[in-house]
Chains A and B, each alone.
Chain A
Amino acid sequence: MTGTLPLDTVAAAPATTTHLPRLALTEQTEEPQRVRVGASLDDRLSIAGATVGGIGMGILLAGALGVIGWGWMPIVSYAWFVGIYASLTFLGHSGPAVVDRFWSVLLRSAAVVVVASLGIVVVYTLLRGWPVLKDVFAFAPHKNPLHFWLTDMSGVGPLSGLDTGGILYAVIGTLEQIGIALVITVPLGVTSAIFLAIVGGRYARVVRTLVEAMTALPSVVAGLFIYAVIILSFTHQDNGFAAALAISVLMLPIMIRSADVALRLVPGNLREAGLALGASQWSTVWRVILPTMRSGLTTAIILATAHGIGETAPVLLTSGVTSVTNFDPFHNAQTSLPLAALEFIESGRNTLIARGYATAATLLAVVLILFVLARLIGGQEAGKVSAGRLRRLARTSRATLRRVRASGHARNLAAAAGRDPDAPLDPLSAFDQLITEDDA
């Protein structure tokens, strides 16, 4: 069969050639969503009216009449809003519709509460840390705008101003501890995920169950375990390495689970194609599965890192508390960001609390960046490649083709088939043309 045959002529080819009927099928178009329940104008106006009515009633009761405190105003307004809206719906619709609208409102409210609570947590942390964070935007001539992240707390008393002292020691602690934890968890986690997803078998199912149970391991128990095993038995002092080990215990299951899920998304036919070409299981994994799931694995690693950076309880038990910079993770206390935030807040002094919130804001920012990164990378579909990567792939393919051409074997084959050995190889001709054009 010739590879250059257009697909739509396959069905019309003579009976002696192989038919590939599946290729001739028209692609199935995705059906539009069949059920659409939209809101009518009446509905939308009812919601607007009920909102105004609810808020008005809240203001009336709280402000004008003073029956309730202002703290109750949102709750009372909300109750009135739901009541008014239900009554308005009842005017124009029957019982089931009223129930439907009522529950729709409640479901929407729950989503709003969830989003709002995250928003409040983030905004509150930023606001309380603002006295420290505002220096970033101060543009004072003789001041480093990033001094909070570039100095440590040594020699800074509780009464010192916010323009001195910083969390360099905690930044270094977090970087080193997460670094060590990644060195431990990435190889272990990725290979375990490969074991679960690719090797499989009954033992793998047992391991998977245990890994899932391990995600629920209370973080403080992991910390206690490392505290007793490493610190009490060997090092006899708090250190960053023990903290890194404790974090690793908690990061491992997260990484394995999401990497396992990602690896199982590899299309089976890719695997089968690799094996059908005679590749060993190892080369299929190394050359087909891992490159395909690169984005999924990266996401797994980043998500585990985001969770690991925020772990506080195990670090509290293992790393010790200090406010001076310690580069050595194996000796002496080495505080990380979450622990520094905790210590600042617990100190109870205003300047230190502001630093604590600024530390927490730093932590939030780091987690947010990691999260967005994971989304961006993980957002790509399995096997879909970026333009740059496509170019690199084409370059590799060209090199391979040159190697194949240069090898005498291919030339001999072509000569034996009665063709010009220097002509492009036939089965590859379309592809060959494509990439040689790109070469020029």
Chain B
Amino acid sequence: MTTIKTHGATALPDYPEAGADDARPRILTQALERVDHTFRGVVTGSGTVVVMVMGLVAVFLTVRSVQALGTEGVGAFLTTQDWSPETGHFGIAAILTGTVLIALVALAIAFPLSVATALFITQLAGDRGSRLLTTVVDLMAAVPSVVYGIWGLSFLEPVVVPFARWLSTWFGWIPLFAVPNPDAANPLPNDALYTSSTFVAGLVVGLMIVPIMTSIMRESFARAPQGEREGAFALGATRWGMIRTVVLPFGRGGVIGGTMLGMGRALGETIAIYLIISPIFQFNFHILSRGTNSIAALIALRYGEASGVTLSALMAAGLALFVLTMIVNFSASAIIARSRSGADAEA
């Protein structure tokens, strides 16, 4: 915490002397009464219940998926593209690829948007503007995913399809943007080929993860030290020069962490993807062409007919999604925590 000392008219920032800045909260020692022991027991108990819920989800998914994984083996489960548990031939290779592809498209949309919005909120907007925009972004996070889903399905998709066709016409030589036409008799481009694609799903999911990414990045950009910022200005930097040399380097941890958190959300998104995609069970790296899949959408689509091995297979898919999101999320929080200075690591 930098305080300002006033010497006459000149304000001199009081830079922390060696060690002067390591303020630590006082350690409170107190004699606990009997009621305190009960109190601490109760609140510790609730904490434990919450942990147990989380643990139960993990354990239950694992136990339930043993049956499916046992019939086929983990290796085959991870490398098979098909999904027909009834015949014992199923795996998440294609579905997982689809999930990750949708998340990557979402990140490609959300990353520049969130970095720029977070920079705008912290560096460009005035006091009122930044408060207003923060509220808007938080509100965006609270909009139910089903609303985004139906909006993406009936508003965004028709708007985006011509753009997708244009992209694949001019940049189709890049395999990612190619749209193979399966109908040799009709070589004319057909709009239906561009609907229900990874691209459209990723676009909607991208909008949905903007708020969480923006708020993490905003926090880390706001922490850029005032002294260094003013130093950059004093050396004649423009505002962008200051952002590039001070704010972005200081906020790098927040940018990476926020992006990974956003990726975790994108991987787990269900309803918007469920509404938009047309599920297929083979690799499709052409993001503009019809057909993709995601684990979450698969579960939402197939749980009803599930029993026995079918359900177990879904549980295994759920477990894979769970493990993936947890890995992404834990790395994100580790990066965010490390990017903060020790004093406010808890905030």
Chain A residues in contact with chain B, CB under 8 A? 28, 31, 34-35, 37, 69, 71, 96-97, 99-100, 102-104, 106-111, 113-115, 117-118, 120-122, 124-125, 128, 187-188, 191-192, 194-196, 198-199, 203-204, 206-207, 209-214, 216-225, 227-229, 232, 249, 252-253, 256, 261, 264, 268, 271-272, 275, 280-283, 285, 303, 306-307, 309-313, 316-317, 338, 341-342, 345-346, 356-357, 360, 363-364, 367-368, 370-371, 375
Is the Cβ of B270 less than 8 Å from the Cβ of A111? no
Q: How many residues of B contact A (CB 8 A)?
A: 106
Smallest CB separation, B61 vs chain A (Å): 7
| B135 A228 Cβ-Cβ under 8 A | no
Structural contact, B270 and A312, CB atoms closer than 8 A: yes
A368 to B141, CA, bound (A): 11
Residues of A within 8 A of B60 (CB): 225, 228-229
In the assembled complex, which residues on chain A have CB atoms less than 8 Å from the CB atom of B311? 228, 232
> Which residue of the partner chain, among B136, B230, B270, B314, contacts A219 with CB atoms under 8 Å?
B270
Chain A residues contacting B117 (CB-CB under 8 Å) are 107, 110-111, 114
Closest to B332 in A: A216
Whether B154 sits at the interface, judged by CB under 8 Å, is yes
Bound form: Cα–Cα A212–B35 in Å: 30
Cβ–Cβ contact B271 & A28, under 8 A: no
| Residues of chain A within 8 A of B56, CB atoms compared | 225, 229
Q: Report the minimal beta-carbon distance from A344 to chain B, rounded to whole angstroms.
A: 9
A225 to B315, CA, bound (A): 9
Please name all residues of chain B whose beta carbon is closer than 8 Å to the beta carbon of A204 when the two chains form the complex. 47
Label chain B's interface by main secondary structure: helix
* Inter-chain contact A213/B238, CB cutoff 8 Å: no
Please, could you name 28 A-B residue pairs with CB atoms under 8 Å apart, sorted by A?
Answer: A34-B230, A100-B238, A106-B116, A107-B116, A107-B119, A110-B117, A110-B120, A114-B133, A115-B136, A118-B143, A124-B151, A124-B155, A207-B47, A209-B330, A210-B54, A220-B299, A220-B318, A220-B321, A225-B60, A256-B50, A281-B36, A313-B270, A341-B150, A342-B150, A360-B144, A363-B146, A367-B143, A367-B144
Contact A211 B4 (CB under 8 A): no
Q: Does B128 contact A (CB under 8 A)?
A: no
**A108 to B121 alpha-carbon distance, docked (Å):** 9
- Residue B72 interfacial (CB < 8 Å): no
Min distance, Cβ A324 to any Cβ of chain B, angstroms: 20
The stretch that binds A, out of B26-34, B178-186, B189-197, B282-290, is B26-34
Establish whether residues A221 and B268, one from each chain, have CB atoms under 8 Å apart when the complex forms.
yes
Determine, out of B37-45, B74-82, B167-175, the stretch whose residues face the partner at the interface: B37-45
Tell me the nearest residue of chain A to B132, going by C-beta.
A115
